Amino acid sequence: MRADLDRRGTLAFVPARFGKEVVGGAEIVMKQMALGLRDRGWDVEILTTCALDHHYWENVFEAGTSQEDGLTVRRFPVVNEPIVERGVLEARIIAGEKVTLAEQQRWINSGMRVPELYHYILDNRYSYRGMLFTPYPFWVTFACSQIAPERSVLWTCLHDEPYARLDLFQPMFTGSAGLFFQTDPEYNLATEICSNLAPNAIVGCGVEIPEVYDPHGFRARYNIDGPFLLYAGRREGAKGWEQMLDWYAAAYDHAPFDLKLVTMGSGDVNPPESIKDLVIDLGFLPDHERDNAFAAAAAYVQPSKYEAFSRTIMEAWLAGTPVIANAGSEVVAWHCERSDAGLVYRDAAEFEQCLRFIADAPESAAALAAPGRGYVLDHYTWDTVLDGIEDSLDSWLPAPTPETAPSHEVKAADSLTVGGS
């Protein structure tokens, strides 16, 4: 940690969701980054919504200001009206159809919106040295990062998906104060879709290092016998969950193997009938049990094609567990190649062979996993990542001086009543 950095001024982290119960890689990273920077002497606040779930965006948390984990958290209510055109435009975007700029604007504005948060930032933009937004395609990031772009930093979470190529997002990629990328493939994708990127840095992503693991206790507490494949995170189509289930069932139907599928996180499980008894849903686990699950697993599966970093594969490697992953994700394939600790599959047949390898050759699987922990410790500890983040923030966001705040400065953040207009 650099002692000579100027850490004056308040940083606002602006994830669309925040809270202990929130499931989502980017949101968890935001929280850990905020806590890490606070511990290094930065004044950090959280500006977020009242929502817990990113599908329905219901206002679960109370609007207003609270203290959570020693951070000031300001929550604002979500407005989420059913607008039919949203679904139509979304389908066209995902199908790769040409969508005009006017349509793109209608698409981004016809989903969830947070007018009170927008106006809070509008009033108080000069109260913050910088604001960190994530992920790029959310309304909160799109609308609010452009209020004071010279103070807005994006933790982009860029995936190779149709949204990334919408013209709508180009100004964010070119005009923000800075962009944080987590991997080389994410940066490469950004340069592919945008030829004049804003100042940027590849800083990786920090991962918590558990002090101890208790795989045997975990098996006992959750009554799990035998080897199992683990999946952690959101169970939804975009994460490849349903396709992976189908492929798992097809492989098992073809020739049974001794490898259950254990999952934790959010979303419906919906296993095919033939493997119903093989799939165990543990729901939402506390952090230490999540770590234990990684250690107890025979392998971890990452079926998502859309990963900007994939913290879960790091957690698997830290726990000495091998990874099998969808080769469609350049980021995850890149990690597997760099670490030498993971296998990738391109189709159902390759996935089946990965399963059989894990089930049939546990010793080789353990050997495959061996270099993984070192890879994570070398590149993705929070200390290393925060060093890079701080260097960039110091460079992109000038420390506050009397000259940097315009004379018509608005109310101080602390004097505001959150939730009113």
Binding map of another protein across residues 42-81, x = CB under 8 A, - = no contact: ---------------------------------------x
Instruction: Quote the Cα angle for 329-334-306, to 5°.
Output: 20
Q: Which is nearer to another protein, 148 or 348 (CB)?
A: 148
What CA–CA distances, in Å, run from 316 to 324, 329, 336, 388? 10, 17, 12, 24
Query: What string of DSSP letters covers 97-140?
Result: ----HHHHHHHHHTS-B-HHHHHHHHHHGGGEEEEEEE-TTSHH
Query: Per CB under 8 A, does 92 bind another protein?
Result: no
The 190-229 site mask, x for binding another protein (CB under 8 A), equals -----xx-x-------------------------------
Residue 370 has φ and ψ, to the nearest 5°, of: -50, -45
Q: Residue 40: phi, psi to the nearest 5?
A: -90, 5
Q: How far is the CB of 406 from another protein (least distance, A)?
A: 7
Q: Residue 398 CB, nearest distance to another protein (Å)?
A: 9
Burial 167-188 (b: 16+ CB within 10 A, else e): ebbeebbeebbbbbbbbebbbe
Binding mask 110-129 for another protein (x = CB under 8 A): x--x-xx-xx--xx------
Determine if 87 is a binding residue for another protein (CB under 8 A).
no
Task: Give the bridge partners for 73, in sequence order.
Answer: 46, 66
CA angle 16, 421, 107 (to 5 degrees): 45
Nearer to another protein, 101 or 370 (CB): 101
Q: Is 421 in the site for another protein (CB under 8 A)?
A: yes
Q: Is 168 in the site for another protein (CB under 8 A)?
A: yes
Q: Candidates 9-17, 184-192, 307-315, 401-409 — which segment interacts with another protein by CB under 8 A? A: 401-409
User: How far is it, in rounded angstroms, from Cα 377 to Cα 392?
Assistant: 22
Which residue of 43, 66, 72, 149 would you call a contact of another protein, by CB under 8 A?
A: 149
Which is nearer to another protein, 283 or 406 (by Cβ)? Answer: 406
**382 vs 396, beta carbon nearer another protein:** 396
